[in-house]
Amino acid sequence: MDHARRIFSEYNAWLQSKSSLEPKALRIKAGFDLDFIHQECRLGLIRLWGEIQESDEYTLHLKMNDLEHEEFSLTPLENGFEIAGGSKNALLYGVYRFLNRLATGESMEKIHEHSAPKVDYRIINHWDNMDGHIERGYAGNSFFFLNNKFDYDQERIKNYARLMASIGINGICINNVNVNKVSAGLIAEPLLTDMAELAALFRPFGIRLLVSVHFDAPMIVGGLTTSDPLDAGVKEFWKAQSAIVYDKIPDFLGYLVKADSEFRGGPEAFGRTQADGANTIAAAVAPFGGLVFWRCFVYNCQQDWRDAQTDRPMAAYKHFQPLDGTFDQNVILQIKNGPVDFQTREPVSPLFSNLKNTREAIEFQIAQEYTGQQIDLYSLAVQWEEILAAEVDKGKQLKSLFGQEIVAVTAVTNTGNNMNWTGNILAQCNLYAFGRMAWNPELTAKELIREWIQITFETDAHGRQTIEEMLLTSRGIYESYTAPLGIGFMVNPSNHYGPNVDGYEFSHWGTYHRASSDAIGVDRTSKGTGFTLQYPESLQRMYDHIESCPEELLLFFHRVRYDYKMKDGRTLLQYIYDSHFEGAQQAEALLQSWETLENRVPQEVFNSVKARLQLQLLNAREWRDQVNTYFYRKTGIDDEKGRKIYM
Amino acid sequence: MDHARRIFSEYNAWLQSKSSLEPKALRIKAGFDLDFIHQECRLGLIRLWGEIQESDEYTLHLKMNDLEHEEFSLTPLENGFEIAGGSKNALLYGVYRFLNRLATGESMEKIHEHSAPKVDYRIINHWDNMDGHIERGYAGNSFFFLNNKFDYDQERIKNYARLMASIGINGICINNVNVNKVSAGLIAEPLLTDMAELAALFRPFGIRLLVSVHFDAPMIVGGLTTSDPLDAGVKEFWKAQSAIVYDKIPDFLGYLVKADSEFRGGPEAFGRTQADGANTIAAAVAPFGGLVFWRCFVYNCQQDWRDAQTDRPMAAYKHFQPLDGTFDQNVILQIKNGPVDFQTREPVSPLFSNLKNTREAIEFQIAQEYTGQQIDLYSLAVQWEEILAAEVDKGKQLKSLFGQEIVAVTAVTNTGNNMNWTGNILAQCNLYAFGRMAWNPELTAKELIREWIQITFETDAHGRQTIEEMLLTSRGIYESYTAPLGIGFMVNPSNHYGPNVDGYEFSHWGTYHRASSDAIGVDRTSKGTGFTLQYPESLQRMYDHIESCPEELLLFFHRVRYDYKMKDGRTLLQYIYDSHFEGAQQAEALLQSWETLENRVPQEVFNSVKARLQLQLLNAREWRDQVNTYFYRKTGIDDEKGRKIYM
């Protein structure tokens, strides 16, 4: 243990040095022009074994062959092993995967794998502002920017690139989708040259950069008087400026655009459609093979709470579904997994069921904005597994669209300049799982969590089992003490942490639960706001009827009386009380489980996770008490089990 | 009208140039060393008349005599008029009062007045931060500070000093009671020399400066390792530093201290009493005739909402009443008018009934933090008149303490660097009324409002009457659409504007209404938290019994069922509905009244007030709907009159 503790570093994340693995004497043989990959393989083996004993008896072959573009194979040979790939990137992925499997303790002879990603683009979105602050960042500040300039440590960027490549990421958008006047200038000098230097650091790892661009860049950057996408001058601006960008960074992946959303400019301000906006910009990058990721997070964020007709989850569909088929080939509509905003529990966005002739990206959020902010433990892999398996049409799971309509998987990252990247080291698991699931959506949360634990921590069976159990249950625990049954929000406005049941109730953000003395929720069925009509008929029917609606989404779709009988016979109100009392208890149990790991995980890991679990417990109790008191005050009905509800 | 419109300036406030007054030829005769006062008198007459026609037929005598220190007399003579005062300051007050009465249109022959202030200290508190921002400022930024330096326009300061002296103000504390590390340095060089220069501008107007000091100045300014008030080094610091201050500003009035309050340091951090803290600092300024204003706004601002025992309004009494008689003579305890925090409706602080051997200042807030923020119309004079007439003991009104226990009247000002000083010009009336009431607490709101209108606006009878009516009713209107019957808060946290019924309900600030499905309020009677026991017996009995408790304070003192019958037979719930519907209607009527004044008041006044009244109407409707919906959702009971309550 002492030795392991000495070499463990949170900074190395899942690429830990390992002291426990049996080295194998071998010689690496790589083909022409594969020096970088050769070197990555060598460095990886040194991480695992401490050193490489050269031997002619056993050869590790790194080679390119005629596999698909990103496909690799891992094959044991007689007196050797072959890592092959259809491209340099593919080979690199093969090397990382090979190292990864060695790190889990497998012996080389047993490592057989043949793998290709389901989607072409696996992309990380940074919400980094150029002043260094990260929007919804819970792990420090940006490691790209400071004081409105590029300001980074080259070694750290290379380490970051390696971490990302090792889980299959091939695109990184470096700046916040909420572009300001400074970051709007990333597509022009002097910032462009700096961005090109950064791109060069990522390039060997097969990672291409993107930037978030400002829809009003024609005015802000170009000095024009309009950003109307059908204006000839505007079109010319985008073409000319993009040519400059591609001249500096020929393999630039493209632009990410948040338009007509939360006070951002967009085509609708000029009476144009989302397609008009996206296609104008897409036409400018098309000659260079560039892409435009166009976000669908468009809704009225100035709703009057008194307006019960407007229903926020319906907005994206209304804006984009009628435009299906009108987007250029290099436009990818970037759609959040759910129709609201990265809540603990939402149905899948109905756009995924209904865009048949449009290329799509699904956007997840690794940053735990609404899911505990890297204080409370929350394994997103568990939630993503459910989402990927959710139906988008009769008998058709969301993940079946991967490689079909869905050509890209993106996520808002949870990283920052904290030395362990993610603030809470256990949140590294979410980052790891994202990359792996984006590559292969069939992977289960359990597999990924287990894999991550194995390659990250040197601990004993109890340690591995405890961490696995904590992570696997964490999402359910968090959900049980926060907003119930898909109702969403109930968080403190603006910071989005901690309870505030009515916090968004009278605001302009369109997120209302409308709890009265006898019922709660918004009727989103075909008899209510009609949201369910945005789904294919089989799903619509399922959601429409309270009996067939998945119970965990009950309050997303229905307005329900507190005396409604749940499937197990409890009333809704009693269910709310129970889940909050139990959730807080389980949060306490998480802390107790962790406390059994002292001396089983490195001390700094033990301490920092423990401190967060203690904060989580306070948070869980606060949620329990505020939610229970809220409903007790509304109803006057006691908890059946007589537990303490404060007045 | 054209002429009046040309010379009117919001900047001149109640010292307007007047074109309508009949000038009188006269000669001013002033005694030895009264040049400044002579000049102020001359300037004042020129403001009123345009010019002074010199004449030997009529003499205006300015003289000192044996009146009390701040006493003046105004006396018509045969062929002349005498303004006399017991001191230069008194004479100056006499001159301003004389000019003020001329400005109302009175003829000189009828002006008889003999007046002395009830209290020695009439003080304005600025909550100006040295970065230029004003805490709770609604009229722009500081006119003293910018970028952590003194930065002011000398002419503006002189005009401000004249405005303040003209209403009897004789002390001004220039910086925020929340002292930071920069403003802590005001008592040391290099800032001290700058402050001395500012003091010199105020000196001719009889205004002495104070500063808010940081309780931890011994550490921050003195570099000591403690601020323990009983530490010899700490005592020495305060002595030595105060000697430096008084060397630069010999007539410096003293220090204002917010200690042990809202995250400020204080004696309790060192296990010392409030008296220990105050007396140590007071001893340091005593040799120079200096004062220490020690705020009593001490309470637990980290309360757990689940704790129903702790009752915030009880805190000041608990901290200070047991120390009665232990404060040095030059300590003045500065007590907010109510026990909570400048709400629309509170009882008088019980400290005023129970500090018999301690010198007190009553603190008001002219800045409309909780009372409409100089957007919504709110005449504080109306509220102050009620407060001053409130009982502090059987048959004894608060104002009877003026000149007894209460030796000072202070207020947080509503001024800033907006050209009209107060943002909303109608808020100038609050500033004016404060000075006049501090001088003479017997003045009524109606008198003061009328006086202020007369000397500020040149309008017709309809104009004067309309503005008077609007101001007189404004407080009741605001109260009717905001938090009902003394319950307080229900505002948006942090900015304190607009409704948020549960905004403070689960916070740590100690302000809870605890509304359930059948009742609302905190029982503060002797059977509840015991707050009423802090009052003398007659008041305690009155507040204890729901029948004798003033109805407007019903929800301050009692927890009341929604079906409780009010004096007029309505239920409490129906009262809440009614007052909110009516309040919003009255806000609309205010706007309509104002609209009749177009072309009757200067156009810029008309426009800027109208714009605010339009915002007020939106605010009133938002309050109406949020409050009504909140209680409708809690109770499920409809409005009897069938008006629209949103779900």
| Region of poorest pLDDT, from A587-596, B16-25, B44-53, B229-238 | B16-25
Per the domain annotation, does A424 fall within a domain?
yes
Q: Minimal CA–CA distance to A239: which of A294, A187, A175? A: A187
Q: What is the pLDDT of residue B173?
A: 98
Q: Which residues pair with A331 in a beta bridge?
A: A292
Q: What is the pLDDT of residue A20?
A: 76
Q: Minimal CA–CA distance to A432: which of A125, A89, A163? A: A163
> Which of B495, B513, B633 to probe by mutation at the A interface, max A CB count within 10 Å?
B633
Nearest CA in chain B to A515: B633
| Pick from A506, A517, A647: CB nearest B634 | A517
Q: Which phi and psi angles does B448 have, rounded to 5°?
A: -70, -40
Q: Minimal CA–CA distance to B430: which of B340, B351, B369, B486? A: B369
A385: annotated active-site residue: no
| Pick from B308, B506, B517: CB nearest A636 | B517
Nearest CA in chain A to B630: A516
Q: Which residues pair with B409 in a beta bridge?
A: B122, B362
Residue B4 has pLDDT above 80, yes or no: no
- List pLDDT tens digits, range A544-598: 999 999 999 999 999 999 999 999 999 999 999 999 999 999 999 999 999 999 9
- List, in sequence order, the alpha helices (H) in A273-377: 274-285, 315-320, 351-354
B138 and B197 together in one domain: yes
DSSP B13-45: TTS---SSSPP---EEEE-TT-HHHHHHHHHHH
CA B173 from centre of chain:
13
Q: Minimal CA–CA distance to B129: which of B112, B145, B151? A: B145
Nearest CA in chain A to B645: A306
Q: First and final CA of chain B: distance in angstroms?
A: 50
Question: Cα B74–B388–B585 angle (5° rounding)?
Answer: 110
% chain A with pLDDT above 70: 99
Q: How far apart are CA B632 and CA B580, in angstroms?
A: 13
Domain span holding position B193: 122-245+252-287+326-442
Nearest CA in chain B to A647: B514
Task: Give the contacts of A503 (CB within 8 A, at least 6 positions apart).
Answer: A489, A490, A491, A492, A493
Q: How far apart are CA B602 and CA B463, in angstroms?
A: 11
SS3 B194: helix
Interface membership of B634 toward A (CB under 8 Å): yes
Per the domain annotation, does B459 fall within a domain?
no
Say which residue, B262 or A257, is predicted with more confidence: A257
What b/e string do you get for B294-311 counting C-beta neighbours within 10 Å, with b at 16 or more?
Answer: bbbbbbeeebebeeeeeb
Q: Which residues of B touch A502 (CB under 8 A)?
A: 501-502
Helix axes B154-166, B88-103, angle to 10 degrees: 80
Q: What is the pLDDT of residue A30?
A: 95
CA distance A525 to chain B (A): 18
DSSP A556-567: HH--EETTPBPT
Question: Cα B77–B16–B21 angle (5° rounding)?
Answer: 45
A380 and A233 together in one domain: yes
| Pick from A506, A518, A633: CB nearest B626 | A506
Interface membership of A585 toward B (CB under 8 Å): no
What's the mean pLDDT in B568-592?
A: 98
Q: Minimal CA–CA distance to A505: which of A495, A515, A517? A: A515
Looking at residue A624, which CATH number applies to its domain? 3.90.1330.10
Q: Are β-strands B27-30 and A560-561 bridged in parallel, bridged antiparallel, or unpaired?
A: unpaired
Confidence of residue B7 (pLDDT cuts 50, 70, 90): confident
Domain count, chain A: 3
Q: What is the pLDDT of residue B18?
A: 85
Cβ–Cβ below 8 Å for B632 and A500: no
Question: Cα B612–B617–B619 angle (5° rounding)?
Answer: 90
Q: Which residues of B touch A508 (CB under 8 A)?
A: none
Q: Minimal CA–CA distance to A18: which of A420, A426, A456, A462? A: A456
Residue A496 has pLDDT above 50, yes or no: yes
Is A12 exposed, middle or buried, given 0-12, 13-18 or 19+ CB atoms closer than 10 A?
Answer: middle
Q: Which residues pair with B331 in a beta bridge?
A: B292
CA A212 from centre of chain:
17
Residue A269 has pLDDT above 50, yes or no: yes
Which residues between 301 and 330 in chain A have a beta carbon less than 8 angstroms from any beta carbon of chain B?
Answer: 305-306, 308
Q: What is the pLDDT of residue A458?
A: 86
Cβ–Cβ below 8 Å for A625 and B306: yes
Q: What is the pLDDT of residue B19?
A: 75
SS3 B482: coil
Cβ–Cβ below 8 Å for A306 and B515: no
Residue A601 has pLDDT above 50, yes or no: yes
DSSP A481-524: HSSGGG----BPTTT--SB-TTTTTTSSSS------SSEES---
Q: What is the largest CA-CA distance in chain A?
A: 80
| Cα dihedral B386/B389/B395/B396 (nearest 10) | 130
Residue A3 has pLDDT above 70, yes or no: no
User: Would you say B213 and B222 are in contact if contact means Cβ atoms under 8 Å apart?
Assistant: no
- List pLDDT tens digits, range B345-397: 999 999 999 999 999 999 999 999 999 999 999 999 999 999 999 999 999 99
Q: What is the pLDDT of residue B5?
A: 39
Q: Which residues of A touch B629 (CB under 8 A)?
A: 506
Long-range contacts of B29-32 (CB under 8 A, 24+ apart): B29/B59, B29/B60, B29/B61, B29/B62, B30/B61, B30/B62, B30/B63, B31/B62, B31/B63, B31/B64
Q: What is the pLDDT of residue B458?
A: 87
B389 and B490 together in one domain: no
Cβ–Cβ below 8 Å for A514 and B633: yes
A294 and A428 together in one domain: yes
Catalytic residue among A10, A260, A363, A369: A369
Interface membership of A486 toward B (CB under 8 Å): no
The structure tokens listed for A602 are 């490195």
Interface membership of B646 toward A (CB under 8 Å): yes
Q: Minimal CA–CA distance to B342: which of B212, B430, B248? A: B430
User: Would you say A559 and A553 are in contact if contact means Cβ atoms under 8 Å apart?
Assistant: no
The structure tokens listed for A277 are 């906006």
Per the domain annotation, does B456 fall within a domain?
no
Q: How many residues does chain A have?
A: 647
Catalytic residue among A341, A346, A360, A479: A341
User: Would you say B531 and B549 are in contact if contact means Cβ atoms under 8 Å apart?
Assistant: no
Q: How far apart are CA B572 and CA B564, in angstroms?
A: 5
Backbone φ/ψ region at A55: left (φ over 0), alpha (ψ -120 to 50), beta? beta
The structure tokens listed for A499 are 């309870």
- List pLDDT tens digits, range B117-152: 999 999 999 999 999 999 999 999 999 999 999 999
- List pLDDT tens digits, range B434-459: 999 999 999 999 999 999 999 999 89
Q: Which residues of A touch B305 (CB under 8 A)?
A: 646
Per the domain annotation, does B643 fall within a domain?
no
What's the mean pLDDT in A238-244?
A: 98
Instruction: Give the position of tokens 């309809």.
Output: B462
Cβ–Cβ below 8 Å for B635 and A518: no
Catalytic residue among A35, A109, A189, A262: A262
Confidence of residue A164 (pLDDT cuts 50, 70, 90): very high
Q: Which residues of A touch B514 (CB under 8 A)?
A: 633, 647
Confidence of residue A280 (pLDDT cuts 50, 70, 90): very high
Other C-beta atoms within 10 Å of A75: how many?
15
SS3 B146: strand
Per the domain annotation, does B303 fall within a domain?
no
Interface membership of B501 toward A (CB under 8 Å): yes
Among B423, B442, B461, where does a domain finish? B442
Sign of CA dihedral A198, A204, A207, A209: positive
DSSP B406-427: EEEEEEE----SSTTSSSSGGG
A447: annotated active-site residue: no
Cβ–Cβ below 8 Å for A516 and B647: yes
A440 and A497 together in one domain: no
Nearest CA in chain A to B521: A647
User: Would you say B119 and B68 are in contact if contact means Cβ atoms under 8 Å apart?
Assistant: no
What's the mean pLDDT in A354-363?
A: 97
- List pLDDT tens digits, range B59-70: 999 999 999 999
Confidence of residue B262 (pLDDT cuts 50, 70, 90): confident
> Which of A633, A637, A644, A647 to probe by mutation at the B interface, max B CB count within 10 Å?
A633
CA distance B636 to chain A (A): 6
Is B422 exposed, middle or buried, given 0-12, 13-18 or 19+ CB atoms closer than 10 A?
Answer: buried
A173 and A106 together in one domain: no
Nearest CA in chain B to A637: B517
CA B357 from centre of chain:
25
| Pick from A306, A514, A646: CB nearest B625 | A306
B239 and B90 together in one domain: no
Among A70, A88, A115, where does a domain finish? A115
B345 and B366 together in one domain: yes
Per the domain annotation, does A574 fall within a domain?
yes
B13 and B150 together in one domain: no
Interface membership of B494 toward A (CB under 8 Å): no
How many helices, marked H, and strands, marked E, lie in chain A? 18, 19
CA distance B629 to chain A (A): 9
Residue type, B476: G
Q: What is the largest CA-CA distance in chain B?
A: 80
- List pLDDT tens digits, range B491-508: 999 899 999 999 999 999
Nearest CA in chain B to A307: B646
Q: What is the pLDDT of residue B8?
A: 87
A16 and A62 together in one domain: yes
Cα distances (Å, whole numbers) of residue B618 to A71, A130, B375, B585:
61, 37, 11, 11
Cβ–Cβ below 8 Å for A633 and B515: yes
Per the domain annotation, does A504 fall within a domain?
yes
B347 and B261 together in one domain: yes
Q: What is the 3-state secondary structure (H, E, C) of B343-380?
A: CCCCCCCCHHHHCCCCCEEEEEECCCCCCCCCCCCCCH
% chain B with pLDDT above 70: 99
Question: What is the average pLDDT score of chain B?
Answer: 96
Among B115, B149, B175, where does a domain finish? B115
Confidence of residue A19 (pLDDT cuts 50, 70, 90): confident
SS3 A29: strand
Nearest CA in chain A to B622: A506
Q: What is the 3-state secondary structure (H, E, C) of B564-600?
A: CECCCCCEHHHHHHHHHHHHHHHHHHHHHHHHCCECC
DSSP-derived secondary structure letter, A323 = G
Cβ–Cβ below 8 Å for B647 and A517: no
| Pick from A517, A626, A632: CB nearest B635 | A517
B97 and B137 together in one domain: no
Confidence of residue B3 (pLDDT cuts 50, 70, 90): very low
What is this model's ipTM? 0.90
Confidence of residue B203 (pLDDT cuts 50, 70, 90): very high
Q: What is the pLDDT of residue B1?
A: 36
| Cα dihedral B521/B524/B527/B531 (nearest 10) | 170
Q: What is the 3-state secondary structure (H, E, C) of B373-401?
A: CCCCCCCHHHHHHHHHHCEEECCEEHHHH
What's the mean pLDDT in A119-141?
A: 98
Per the domain annotation, does B357 fall within a domain?
yes
